[in-house]
């Protein structure tokens, strides 16, 4: 039976979600890769040999033809074992987990397995690197798709492989170094943070959207309170995004406003789900901020002029007034501004005023006359004429449209 293409596809799909998988010989023989070298690292030599043999016997006794074997061990790691048809080969995948690892859960697992306290940091790093899928149906769907190509009918069995007589004497005397997988995940996390800041600085939310689990992947829990722990990392995310936007020459007034609002919202969250939703919004809003307010491409004089216009819309913003404000020659200002922005100073000011008018129309019920004044235009007829020229409708028509 030629099912290699289905196996290759399944293994590639699993690799995309960080689950290692293998085609192995039968009967099953333990390999230290299968648990990311967890047992090899923490167990003493004598207990390691015994544990490997026990696991091998468990798999070989439990594995059946036309059967998906889903194994859960005492370290809260899950594995998949499938004997392949018409072959002396088997499919093996793992480790991963169907439940998130909080500090409390890790403490409970260490207690259950009698793991000494000196291993706590190592175990936290190990579990931070373990792929987690809260919805068990996701993994089962992938494996069911594969097995539907292997057999016309099959069964799924769930088995537990537990250390019933765990003792602290099973473990090594020394404090272990992080596993290779833990190190790689940690390195990837820091690399992703650098990419995140680069993408925010360019307002590139589409690229950020491809960075999965920005604020949680590869980070070991630091507090027993999972909500507080996640909030602290969200505060870090907010700061990273703010500094990235600052590097794009977004004015501190805009940065402080968005950062303050997100800080308040982070603290108001009461569930992990709310924080995960907010994570996506934080990165998206900072990208939009950069797209709207980044002055990276302008020279310092033009940056100063644009900021001055944005924060003084009700003032006299004529060429002569702005030139005098910055002690610059008006002809120089006019040519420099047009060359860098592609717009005359007058048109730029008018567009900024109408942008602010649109914001006020969207967020307030102020009369059109008052909106005109807040945009620096006292003549409501001129304001209406300018608005229509830029938006192809009057302010009143715009308000009716949005209502």
Residue-wise pLDDT tens digits, 79-118: 999 999 988 999 999 999 999 888 888 999 999 999 999 9
| pLDDT given at position 217 | 47
DSSP 29: -
Report which of residues 343 and 184 the model is more confident about: 343
**Is pLDDT above 90 for 318?**
yes
Cross-strand bridge partners of residue 72: 78, 160
- Per-residue pLDDT reduced to its tens digit, 216-254: 545 656 655 678 888 998 999 999 999 999 999 999 999
**Is pLDDT above 80 for 325?**
yes
Mean pLDDT of the chain, nearest integer: 90
248 touches 296 (CB < 8 A): yes
Q: What is the mean pLDDT of residues 269-286?
A: 90
Question: 201: Cβ–Cβ under 8 A, 6 or more apart, which residues?
Answer: 244, 245, 247, 248, 290, 296
Count of CB atoms situated within 10 Å of the CB of 335? 11
Residue holding tokens 């060429």? 319
- Rounded to the nearest 10°, the torsion over CA 355, 359, 364, 369 is 0
Binning pLDDT at 50, 70 and 90, where does residue 72 land? very high
What are residue 97's phi and psi, to 5 degrees?
-145, 155
For the chain, which domains are there? 4-178 (no CATH), 181-293 (no CATH), 300-402 (1.10.10.60)
Most distant CA pair in the chain, distance: 91
Q: What is the mean pLDDT of residues 276-299?
A: 92
Closest CA to 53 of 35, 80, 29, 84: 29
Q: C-alpha distances in angstroms, 203 versus 92, 213, 290, 355?
A: 42, 19, 5, 20
Q: Do the strands 67-73 and 21-25 form a parallel or antiparallel pair, or are they unpaired? A: unpaired
Sheet holding 21-25, edge to edge: 21-25, 89-96, 78-83, 67-73, 155-161
Closest CA to 167 of 324, 326, 50: 50
Binning pLDDT at 50, 70 and 90, where does residue 385 land? very high
Report which of residues 150 and 212 the model is more confident about: 150
| DSSP character string of 117-178 | GGGHHHHHHHHHHS-B-S-HHHHHHHHHHHHHHH-SS-EEEEEEE--TT--GGGB-SSPPPP
């Amino acid at each position: 039976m030629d099912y290699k293409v289905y196996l290759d596809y399944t293994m590639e799909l699993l690799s995309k979600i960080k689950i290692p998988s293998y085609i192995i010989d039968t009967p099953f023989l333990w390999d230290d890769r299968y648990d990311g070298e967890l047992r090899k690292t923490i167990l003493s030599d004598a207990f390691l040999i015994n544990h490997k043999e026990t696991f091998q016997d468990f798999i070989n006794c439990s594995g059946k033809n036309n059967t998906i074997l889903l194994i859960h061990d005492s370290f809260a790691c899950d594995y998949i074992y499938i004997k392949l048809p018409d072959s002396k080969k088997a499919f093996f995948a793992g480790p991963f987990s169907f439940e998130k690892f909080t500090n409390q859960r890790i403490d409970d697992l260490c207690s259950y397995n009698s793991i000494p306290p000196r291993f706590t940091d190592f175990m936290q790093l190990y579990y931070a690197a373990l792929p987690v899928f809260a919805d068990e149906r996701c993994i089962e769907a992938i494996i069911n798709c594969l097995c539907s190509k292997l057999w016309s009918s099959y069964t799924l069995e769930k088995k537990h492989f537990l250390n019933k007589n765990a003792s602290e004497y099973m473990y090594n005397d020394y404090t272990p170094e992080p596993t290779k997988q833990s190190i790689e995940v940690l390195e990837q996390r820091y690399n992703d943070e650098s990419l995140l800041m680069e993408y925010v600085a360019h307002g590139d939310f589409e690229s950020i959207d491809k960075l999965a689990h920005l604020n949680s992947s590869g980070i070991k829990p630091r507090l027993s309170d999972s909500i507080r722990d996640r909030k602290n990392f969200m505060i870090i995310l907010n700061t990273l995004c703010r500094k990235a936007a600052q590097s794009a020459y977004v004015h501190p007034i805009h940065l402080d406003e968005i950062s303050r609002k997100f800080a308040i919202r982070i603290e108001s969250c009461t569930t992990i789900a709310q924080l995960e939703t907010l994570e996506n919004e934080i990165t998206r809003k900072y990208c939009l901020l950069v797209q709207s307010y980044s002055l990276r491409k302008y020279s310092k004089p033009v940056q100063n002029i644009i900021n001055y216009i944005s924060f003084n819309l009700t003032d006299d913003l004529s060429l002569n007034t702005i030139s005098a404000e910055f002690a610059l020659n008006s002809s120089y200002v006019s040519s420099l501004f047009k060359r860098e922005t592609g717009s005359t100073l007058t048109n730029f000011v008018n567009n900024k005023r109408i942008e602010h008018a649109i914001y006020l129309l969207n967020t307030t019920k102020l009369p059109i006359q008052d909106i005109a004044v807040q945009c620096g235009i006292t003549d409501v007829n001129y304001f209406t004429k300018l608005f229509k020229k830029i938006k192809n409708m009057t302010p009143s028509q715009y308000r009716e449209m949005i209502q």
